[in-house]
Amino acid sequence: MLVSCLPSNPRVRTDIMESSTTPRPEKGELLHEGKAKKVFKTSDPELYIQEFKDAATAFDGTKKGTITGKGSVNCTVSSRLFKMLENWGVKTHFVDVLGENEMLIKAVEIIPIEVIVRNIAAGSLVRRYAFVESTKLEPPIIEFGLKDDDLHDPLMNDDHVLALGIATTAELAFLRRQANIINDALREFFSGIGIDLVDFKLEFGRLPGGDIILADEISPDTCRLWDKETGEKLDKDRFRFDLGNVESAYNEILKRTSTQA
Ligand code: AIR
Ligand code: ASP
From-to residues of CATH 3.30.470.20 in the chain:
109-244
Measured CA to CA in angstroms, residue 14 lies from 3, 88, 100, 101 at distances of 11, 28, 12, 15
For residues 223 and 117, the answer to whether their CB atoms sit within 8 Å is no
Please determine, looking at this structure, whether the domain spanning 14-106 carries the CATH number 3.30.200.20.
Answer: yes
pLDDT digits (tens, 9 = 90+) for 59-81: 989 999 999 999 999 999 999 99
Q: Lowest mean pLDDT of 21-25, 93-97, 100-104, 214-218, name the range.
A: 21-25
For residues 54 and 66, the answer to whether their CB atoms sit within 8 Å is yes
Q: Please identify, by atom number, the ligand 2 atom nearest to the C-alpha of residue 240.
A: 8
Q: Decide: helix, strand or coil at residue 231.
A: coil
0.95 exceeded by pTM:
no
From-to residues of CATH 3.30.200.20 in the chain:
14-106
What is the architecture of the domain spanning 109-244?
2-Layer Sandwich (3.30)
The closest of 86, 125, 109 to 203, measured between CA atoms, is 109
Which of 67, 222, 236, 238 to mutate to test ligand 1, by most ligand atoms within 8 A of the CB atom? 222
For residues 238 and 252, the answer to whether their CB atoms sit within 8 Å is no
The mean of the pLDDT values for the chain is: 92
Sequence-ordered list of residues with C-beta below 8 angstroms from that of 29, at least 6 positions apart, any chain: 40, 41
**Ligand 2 site, residue 59, Cβ cutoff 6 A:** yes
Which one of the ligands is nearest to 199 CA? 1
| Separation of alpha carbons 33 and 39, rounded Å | 6
pLDDT score of 156:
98
Pick the residue with more confidence: 181 or 261? 181
pLDDT digits (tens, 9 = 90+) for 231-242: 999 999 999 999
Q: Which residues line ligand 1 (CB under 6 A)?
A: 114, 116, 123-125, 199-201, 221-224, 236
